[in-house]
Structure 1
Amino acid sequence: MHKSAQVGQFWSHENAYGQVYRDFEVSRLSVISEAIQSRPVFHSVLYLSVVLFWTISISYGAALHGPNTIAVNLSPHVALFTACVGIVTYPKRLTWVPILALAGLFFVPAILPFSGKPMWITMPEVTWDLLGFMWGANMLSGVLVGHIVRQVYAQIARKFPPLDTALLVTAVISVAFLVICTIQFLAVQKFASKLDPAHLAALGFDENYNDFALNRTLRGTAVVGGFMVAILNMPTRASLLRAAPILGVFPALALMHQSDSGGYAMMDVGLLALLLALTLPARVAPLIVIVGVAIYSAMTGAYLTDTAPRDFESFLLQRYAILMLFIIVLAMALRSRLSYDLAQREASIRRLSTVRNFAGVGLFAINVPRDMMRVDPAAQRLVGLPASDDLEALLSRFEHEDQEALRRMILSGDAGSHTLLVRLAHVRANGEQRILRVHLWSEQNLWREHIAYGMMVEVTDEHKRQRALSDALSELSVRQERQKQLFSIVSHELRTPASVISMLIDELKSGEDLAETTSQMREASSQLLNVLDDMRQAVNPEKNQRIHHEAYVPADVAESLRNTYQLLARGNQMRLSVELEQGARSTLKGDAKRIKQVLGNLVRNGIIHSNGSEIRIAYQELPQDLVDRRILAQGCWTVTDDGVGIPEADVERLFEPFERGSQDARNQADGSGLGLYIAKQTIELLGGELTYFTAPQGGAGYRIWLPDPLEKAVVHEEEGKEVVCAGFAKMSVLVAEDNALVAKITTKQLSRVFGSIRLASNGREAWEAIREEQPDILLTDLFMPEMTGDELVRALRADGVTIPIIGLTAAVVGDDTARFIEAGVTAVMSKPLNVANLCQTLQNEMGKPPAADTGT
């Protein structure tokens, strides 16, 4: 996704991002259950203290301010919520605690002393059958409600978020209480029909029982919902102590009513409780309201004593007072939800701000019409601005070239988001340019003013890494492209020496001048191998062969070149001429092989590309036009032709790899574009210089000079002395080579020097042959079936084989030599195998030549 799209989504989906930094919610009921399980005694004492206070307060209020009949006051019992709420919140193995508590609390209203009313247990109308039935009905109702809600909770907890689950449980427990308790008072009414009619009035089973029991059930429904909300929102001790003084308003209101200064008692306390439910902290309000209403009811009898309504207005007031209780519970539940969401939102913003500040992401907002800007602390640190400023102050912090682009982005007012990379005017201590990525989003406020909201983050290091990666990828792409070009034109580079060899083979058929043809064929094959070396040099110039100084005579080099390319020149209707001046017959010391390679490249280019009739090869010891140069020349070679020449515009890139000049006639012929590049690279490796000039004949000209010291070769007696491959006749050689023709020729060459030669067509076969009979020397190719050459060497060295092992490779590119060396070979040699060099290598390895075989 594009960065700007991501920023747009950041702003438009603020809630989704806020969810990430919310608390990881768990069910409050689960938290309460775990807390009770960890400290069952403490939490049970706390819970039972509250319900005991409630039961005693409400029971005394009913006894002091009303008839206190057993039928109404036990339909349902004032403490019935103890079991309902307790079974839901307690761990399963401890649910007996609230059940046992209800069983005991049931008898509190029956034994109230000092109430001015007879205690139920002393009334002759109250039988043990009646008490037993009422006890059983309330116990059954409480247990049923608790277990029903517990089962429902187990189901909805899997489908709803924890907070929604808690609210749903509050609703479910209220509905379940209402339904079960309605059935309960109907069952009690049915039971009353079996009692002595003379006792019904004293027990409260009169014509108002149904209305009073229904009112009590409705109020009990609100109470059980209120207690559920309170338990789900238990406040901290500190917040509860801070709010405790507010409880004083409830007895104060009760005293007002006792002095006939209040209005309708239940409505007054209901309004007060609703006010506190809406204004007190959401976690404190439920407990304060429950305790306050209990105190008020105990003092006034409100909600505890029912009287038959005198008129319709009284009937409505009673119903509104009950409805007020449900409104209070609903308000506390919704406030709990809203308060939690607000707290989570604030916590999410705080955490997000902390992370954003730590990450160095700055925010800013600009009122464009009023030119007012606000900047947060992170952005202040990034751009060095105060908390409030104007647009120009912000723009001044960036490079002049970026200011206009940023200004247009801010002032445009386009809908959607935009992203821009800008450079800060202030650089780092090390002089490095600082770069910010600015994301912007615009909208109109309530007054239809254009407001731009922005986010900025420093990406200097990221930009530097991306630039380095881009440069590396570009360089890699160029190298890959060049190597691809190289491989695609290998056949072209090999064509010239291969063509010469083909023509020389035809010459051999004529049988004329065999000595000269053989010499030319040797030169052509040497040229073919040199082309392969050129390929290696072009691909891996850092792995060039070492410079090898040897004696040579410039005149011999020139003649050798003419012999090599004579037939190719004739095939192109051209002639080769040699001009030798002073010093051409002198014996010099240098890398004759490389010099011959470079001159050969130049001659070949002239034959293939010049479209001329003559190529001249010239040598002089010290040309007059170079006398004044800082670097004096040991010798100067020139190669010129009378062809089309090189356009001046192409001269500058003439020596670059894969360049072939302009679209003139010379570019229509074959050519790799590597010849001049390799030639120049080779001469510079020797410390000399290769330059282009326009030949006097009008074609192309190349001048090569080599540096001082002017070391004329003193040819010692041992120089040029051939290596004598004597003393190896008794030695055995194993050749591991999968190419049958190469193996045959190699065997033939080695048989002239060594005693016995064995062949193995792959590495596995060679390894098994050595295990049967160990040779004196092993020659192995690299790429072979079943087991490669380096694998073979590793296996032998691991077996303790210490004989000289020579690795052979024909590869132009790749890591063949490195693989052989890592495997543990004695030396690596190029194909085709030079037996003399092999002998020299073996002599160096053994310290001295083996004793010659005298035949005695």
Structure 2
Amino acid sequence: MSSSTALPFEFSDAVQAHQRIQELERELQAAKEAARTMENRLGHLINYVQEGVLLTDTDGRISLVNERFCQLWDMPQPAAYWVGRSWQEMAAVMIPLVADGPAFEQRIHALRAGGQPVFNERVDLSDGRILERDFIPVQQVDTLSARSMIRLRDATEYHRAAEQLRAVASIPGQNPNPIFRIDGEGQVLYNNPSASALHASLNDADQNRLLAKIQRLASAALTQNAPWQVDIPVGNSFYAVFVVPFPEEGYANLYLVNITKRMLVEQELNHAKDEAEAAVRARENFLANMSHEIRTPMNGVLGMATQLSKTRLDARQQDFLRIIRTSGQHLLSIINDVLDMAKITSGKLEFEQTAFNLCDSMAEALQPLVHQAIEKGISVAGTPLKTSCSLPWVIGDPYRLNQVLINLMANAIKFTEAGGHITVIGRQLAATADTLTVEFLVTDTGIGIPAEQLERIFEGFTQAYADTTRRFGGTGLGLSISRAIIEQLGGTLTVHSKVGKGSTFRFQLTLPRTTAQAATATASAFDTGVLRGRRVLLVEDNEINRDVARMLLEEWGVEVHEAEDGQRGVEQYQRQSYDAILMDIQMPGMSGLEATALIRQLPDATKANVPILALTANAFRADYVKYLAAGMTDCLTKPFEELELYQALEKLMPPAGPKSSYDLTKLRTLAHGREAFVLKIIRSFLLNMPESLVQLETAAATGNWQQVAALVHHIKPGIESLGIQDVAGALQQLEQQAAGPGAEQSLAHAAVARIVAQVKRALHELPRELPAEA
């Protein structure tokens, strides 16, 4: 009975157990639903974060992964593909993508076995990207069964930026040049190892000097808020210091570069430059002295020969006189050749720029040589340039071009025997509106030149045959000078020759064209009477040259007074007035330049502006410019012909009334008949020029020759347009070169005084050109 009474209780327990089981199943199902909901929500949430996230469960399977994680690993499969798969399967895809696969695999096992969190661990990929990962062991969270979580992010740009910052930060330390950072108070905030080494290498005194210098430089840069550079000595070395201010930060960086080697090289180049310049000056002085010492007595020889020719001579005496004059002229031509070679080697061969008829000029130059060839028994033929060129007017140097043609013609005559033939041809090759290209050929039937000597004949002091000088004379300079002239004019000079057959010299040139110029007045004949009664002061230390000049001047009715040197000349001129002064240049004591400077500074404007003709034995154009800049009116080179002296004096002392200080011919030509334009220019000159003269005198008085040159450059167009007289040389001297010490500076002051005096005279006279005010 007892068992039957227990059944209801057991059944009841079974029912309750069943009900409990059902409740637990419902709770379990709810928990699963909640877990799934949480997983879905978590999965949905982590897909929006920027990091990659991966969760693995206790069995090592992937329970959660977001799309970002797969993207960072560049996996082709989506995140859903990996859920439920083992982490080893995913690792197999990752390993080929990293830079060091085996090390990566070992590191994964180590992390999972260690169970310790790791943050910001770097993973380098083979494509150059850099990832950072966090490995975090976790406990089961609610219903989520998770053993570990991995967070992943792309740190490529971060690491690259960090590496760049590290590299930049290491630059000062790695820089082999010293670097200092100094604040406004002079405190050294930073110095790199090179700066420390430099400081340590100096003694105490040099250390203090260096610190004081860089403190001053930093302070100045911060004050001016501008970077700058300066070279400073440091101990036994030299450094270029680049100062860069950072005013907002309150400090300046100073970067030092060792320039000791450069400074030493520059110093050597300067000890070398000075020596070279000294050698050039010595050579020029030697040539000037040689020119003076030879030309001065040559002037006496030829001058006295001229005077002798005016006396009664028999035929034999006339023949002796002809030999004297011919020999003197030959010696003078040799001197000129030597001087020309010196000018060529120093790059100072001078060229005129004047308008001339190329055909007429060269024909006139050749005429005496044609007669010389005929006298030797050589026939001469040719084709003048005018047969192919109707407008042969060009701009250039007729003397230099004639010199070339004369050299070639003289050589042809020299090396061609009697019965031979010379042909001279000039022809136009091309012409444009602006240029004319011509060719000249000189062909002879002379001895010819061996092929191996064709180029050597153009070398200085070289002739084709060893006995040429003994047989034919000459220095061997003519062809070298000729080629240098043609090449400096942009042309070519060539030769074609056969031994025993003769030679052909040919040169081609392209010259600027110009319109035909009006014919100049022919030179007046001797003793036209315009010089009679004029008073001239002759300042010359050479007694023979004084005799020559006095004889010529007295023949023309000139009253001549003499002075033996510059000092006596100035004193004589202060006591008496003269119509002109003939001034030698090189004299003992006071030179002609110094005497001229004193005369130009006389307070009496009339006496200060007396015409002064330089008589010089120097033949360099640079000397000619210097003489004009010193205040000389014109220049005549010794030895001179009596016609040249007469024409120079006739030009200096015209028979008309007092010479005007200006000439409006050029201005009126530019105006094309517009008188209003002429008056406007004159009024502007009268208004503005006085202030410019004050500035010019002030700059000269303070020795600011750069400012003088700038002012001269500014006023020169106005002076030239109004034709202010006798200032061209002074303008050129001051505009093109600064004054140096000693005599050169006195010349510059004289040039300024010359310009000021002439312009002031023009300012006084120009108002007469303006119409009277109503």
Q: Give the TM-score category using the shorter length.
A: 0.3 to 0.5
TM-score, normalised to structure 1's length?
0.36
TM-score for the superposition, normalised by structure 2: 0.40
Structure having the higher strand fraction is 2
